[in-house]
Structure 1
């Protein structure tokens, strides 16, 4: 009788372990499915019709002004950015070097479109190994896009976007994206008749991706956004996002 109880207990214990393992496998599969879907959403948000339309209009504008070299330069940069979007959207992570390349190409196109109204600066801490340190893919560009389109687009005069990568420790770093535009409060006033317009598709995808990264247990990510005019720190918006890669 005692041996029967022991075997029954062991059988129940093994069943519980099996069910727990199956639940973990199912949860991971669901998370992977959501991440794959979100990668496609990220690509769609970055290749949004407004950006493509504005870029093609700019190329046409330069052609009409008979600025052939400028239009060719714009077209080459635009083609390279499209290729990078498709290439990087298939990856879960990028190196810092790849991320900087993507941001450089995006900002170069926006700088051409804004015609000297836009300046940018990307700084990488010299302690960071750009070829080794990883970052979740398709995450920073939507933030930079918001800085340009919501922060600087409605500003009178020139605008500046800065992106700073700073090493915190061996596997933790901070990225600060700052613009000297009109700030969050004023930007919302431009879109007060439609909250949906201010909450762009890139912003929504960003929020979902941050949430999934936390659930993936591979990254510890903190995110904050601040209207500098409300803290007497000048004008514009500052986004701070820290990344800590967990080694399981």
Structure 2
């Protein structure tokens, strides 16, 4: 522009001026655009900073809420566990109390039935003694009374116990049968079979449990027209953890004589005691009668095998 102005070349001067103006405008536009872009970039950076700050704050708040939620969840779980533990303890105590009450009830029932059994047995024995005195047989009455006193002493000692050894029960049954032999003038024979390998001193059963069934065989099983025989077999059923006791007679069988109209109180009591025994030791008991008219009766008892450890 300066050159064309000094050389007086106005046409070129005007062209150069236009070009200068155009370049200047373009430069201003570029500078303005650059400034706008820089401002926009700065604005975006500020926005990003604010967004990052807000995001960090949100993260902190979220972490704080999450931490509170964790604490709350932990406290809730701990509270639930404590409640469940308390409920479990209460349930266990209630169950233990109930089991204890059931056990005490079983013991009381056993004692009640036993007290019913003892006077029943004594009544029958005294009736026999009375008949001997009535028929003026003093020697036999004294001998019978001596046998009875020994048996009664043994029963009184054993009946105070909840359980007695099988050995004591067998001995008591042997004494009872010998007493009844004297009563019936040795009209019947008896055998008690116990396996040698069976530890009768280490196995326990309720006292006077076998005697009622033996008594029924003697009082209701014979008609006086044949030679009586009573056989007692004791075996161990290892598979079912039971003790099998069979009372076998060769009497008239069931429901064949008018005497059978008499209801056996001792048998009913013994059956109740078997049911209680099954409830207590959680092992089933079994009571079966096999009878054939004119050929005799077999009573089969299956009792839980109770050793000395369980009995204590």
Q: TM-score, normalised by structure 2?
A: 0.66
Q: Tell whether 2:280 aligns with 1:208.
A: no
Give the structure with the higher percent strand.
1
Indicate the residue corresponding to 2:47 in structure 1: none
Indicate the residue corresponding to 1:10 in structure 2: 82
Per-residue deviation, 1:158: 2.7
Q: Tell whether 2:229 aligns with 1:160.
A: yes
Task: Measure, in 1, the Cα distance between the counterparts of 2:132 and 2:105.
Answer: 38
Q: Could you say what secondary structure the match of 2:256 adopts?
A: helix
Per-residue deviation, 1:145: 1.2
The structure having more radius of gyration, on CA atoms, is 2
CA change 1:59–1:78 in 2 (3 A) is farther
Alignment map for 1:1-248 (pairs within 5 Å): 1-2=72-73, 3-48=75-120, 50-61=123-134, 64-66=136-138, 68=139, 70-152=140-222, 154-169=223-238, 172-186=242-256, 190-192=259-261, 197-198=262-263, 200-217=264-281, 219-229=283-293, 235-245=295-305
Task: Measure, in 1, the Cα distance between the counterparts of 2:146 and 2:282.
Answer: 36
Q: Could you say what secondary structure the match of 1:185 adopts?
A: coil
8 Å Cα contact 2:242/2:305 also seen in 1: yes
Task: Measure, in 2, the Cα distance between the counterparts of 1:167 and 1:136.
Answer: 17
Q: Structure 1: where are the runs of 5+ without partners?
A: none
Write the deviation string for residues 6-55 of structure 1: whole angstroms up to 9, x where unpaired.
Answer: 32343234324423432332333233233333334224324316413323
Q: Structure 2: where are the runs of 5+ without partners?
A: 1-71
CA change 1:35–1:143 in 2 (3 A) is farther
CA change 1:135–1:41 in 2 (3 A) is closer
Give runs of ≥4 in structure 1 deviating > 4 Å: none
Task: Measure, in 2, the Cα distance between the counterparts of 1:116 and 1:37.
Answer: 37
Task: Measure, in 1, the Cα distance between the counterparts of 2:118 and 2:297.
Answer: 20
Q: Could you say what secondary structure the match of 1:239 adopts?
A: strand
8 Å Cα contact 1:43/1:85 also seen in 2: no
8 Å Cα contact 2:212/2:267 also seen in 1: yes
8 Å Cα contact 2:287/2:302 also seen in 1: yes
Per-residue deviation, 1:180: 1.1
Give the structure with the higher percent helix.
2
Task: Measure, in 1, the Cα distance between the counterparts of 2:228 and 2:134.
Answer: 22
CA change 1:125–1:174 in 2 (3 A) is same
Task: Measure, in 1, the Cα distance between the counterparts of 2:158 and 2:105.
Answer: 18
Q: TM-score, normalised by structure 1?
A: 0.81
